[in-house]
Structure 1
Amino acid sequence: MNGRGLDPDGTIGREGALDRVTAEFVPVVDAVRTRLATVFDRDRLHSAYLYGSIPRGTATPGVSDLDLQLALQHEPTEADRADAGAIEASLDRAFPQIDGVGILLTSRQVLLSDLELHDAGFFIACLCTPLLGPDLAERLPRYRPTSLLAHETNGDLALALQRWRAEVRSATTDADHRRLSRLAGRRTVRTGFTLIMPRWGGWTSDLDRSAELFGRYYPDRVEQMRVAATVGRAPSTDPAVLEMLVDDLGPWLAAEYTAVHGEKTPRP
């Protein structure tokens, strides 16, 4: 890949690989592979993927979380969610080098659907690293940094803002504020980057780099985006940070995104 995350043919390269996992996190990856294979048999699990800083080789011990996507053979059930939750909790307890575990559950039919071609499909093909089972990326196209990709990947920030405002109102603990600031920070930076992604002509998932690239096109908002990148990595308990993300930067970004790329195709 070149410095813009593109392969020689101009398509977005896969950003992670198992051989990029640093030594501190190898035991975590080995444990999650074993646990998934034990809990989810082949009748339930089609394939499993890592994503985020661990397979990119940029994770920080004690700060980074472990992110997983499971492609199920069927629509997720309550039993699937309970088993995934138990795995999340046990791994988080067992490994101090990770700060939280998140497991996404999606059916392989949805991941390969036409509706998700430029969202969940792109996510699997370019942002996820195969861990178990057949790789769904082999059934997906190569992607380029286009406005269509931006439109479908992050064109629904307004909906996220509605959820965040409701969660902010009910947040009572430092843990609540940390979780929300990490979530809102990451999503805001991702959206800011994909807003400018077609103009820049490449892809990155690095939060700091994303904020700086965004600032080339929107210098008046770059300081706020830098704060979003910071709390995306190291969450904050400061209510003012969440207020900035949810009530100032977020609404402006959602409106600008819609003006440039349009709204994401509605999901059922």
Structure 2
Amino acid sequence: MTTNQGSSRGSSQGTDRGLDRDGYIAREGSLDRVPAEFAPVVQAARERIAGAFGPERLHSAYLYGSIPRGTAVPGTSDLDLLLALHHGPTAADRADADALEAALDAGFAQVDGVGVLLFDTGTLLGDLERHDLGWFVACLCTPLLGEDLAARLPRYRPTSLLARETNGDLGLALPGWRERASAAATDAELRALTHVVARRVVRTGFTLVMPGWGGWTSDLTASAEVFAAHYPGRADQMRRAAATARTPGADRAALAVLIDDLGPWLAAEYAAVHGPKAPRP
């Protein structure tokens, strides 16, 4: 992971393509980029995390997503947080995280949903997660509280290894998505699932071609266009997936295309190009 925060996130049109001067993936967010409308939310998150978890449990806390990238839209964007704990998360930790999510979501109209990920530092710094969660913290997370784990992680290039370990398990997700789609009884459930599936498919499509493109972007539209240049036969499907990820609907037919057509093809192509992700316990 890179600890250099001086370079900015690159766009698909930029000359650096999300890389720093040395060709490593640059950390894409910073507190300086948080839009003014979201500053009170971030401050409240900092205070409530510290109060709820305390130094005996919390090693560090991070923001990720559109808010630290500076692209968040008031009333539409969610607040994404990652907490690194000294020990493996317990049921009590999860309950406190759930309460934190609910309080922040109810307290600020600027955000439409709050999500808190919990991991222990051993997992985040371990060899197995070095090119997945470790990379995520180092490159996609913005420090909010505590010691930045980025200082204890490597710097990352857009390699096939990174592609394999971040998204080489799409095929494992497909059966569960099919079950959830069949069980979805409301439009809200369908929209929530469609949002998850579409974003994951676009991310996977981008990382499939990321090593050849030679850069990084979190922008969904740019990701779809980078993929389209490499796989023109699937370009329209990926562009529709990106549009769906931005504004998910409750269209079962559109969801079925992602789960039963584009998704399986993408999983097979990914395995052929990069190989499967290392198995997790």
Aligned counterparts of 1:85 and 1:169: Cα–Cα separation in 2: 27
Match of 1:196 in 2: 209
Spell out the pairing of 1:72-91 with structure 2 (5 A cutoff).
72-91=85-104
1:157 paired residue among 170, 174, 178 = 170
The answer as to 2:229 corresponding to 1:216 is yes
1:245 paired residue among 238, 258, 263 = 258
The answer as to 2:62 corresponding to 1:69 is no
TM-score when normalising by structure 2:
0.93
The answer as to 2:279 corresponding to 1:261 is no
Following TM superposition, by how much is the alpha carbon of 1:233 offset from its aligned partner in structure 2, in angstroms? 2.1
Match of 1:92 in 2: 105
- CA contact under 8 A between 1:64 and 1:233: conserved in structure 2? no
Match of 2:125 in 1: 112
Amino acid at match of 1:188: V
> Secondary structure of the equivalent of 2:137?
helix
Moved over 3 A (4+): none
> Secondary structure of the equivalent of 1:189?
helix
Amino acid at match of 1:65: D
The answer as to 2:24 corresponding to 1:11 is yes
> Secondary structure of the equivalent of 1:258?
helix
Structure 1: where are the runs of 5+ without partners? none
The answer as to 2:183 corresponding to 1:170 is yes
Structure 2: where are the runs of 5+ without partners? 1-6
> Secondary structure of the equivalent of 2:142?
strand
Following TM superposition, by how much is the alpha carbon of 1:173 offset from its aligned partner in structure 2, in angstroms? 1.3
The answer as to 2:83 corresponding to 1:48 is no
Aligned counterparts of 2:83 and 2:207: Cα–Cα separation in 1: 24
Following TM superposition, by how much is the alpha carbon of 1:102 offset from its aligned partner in structure 2, in angstroms? 1.0
Following TM superposition, by how much is the alpha carbon of 1:231 offset from its aligned partner in structure 2, in angstroms? 2.4
228-237 or 190-199, larger mean C-alpha shift: 228-237
Q: How many residues align?
A: 268
Following TM superposition, by how much is the alpha carbon of 1:42 offset from its aligned partner in structure 2, in angstroms? 1.0
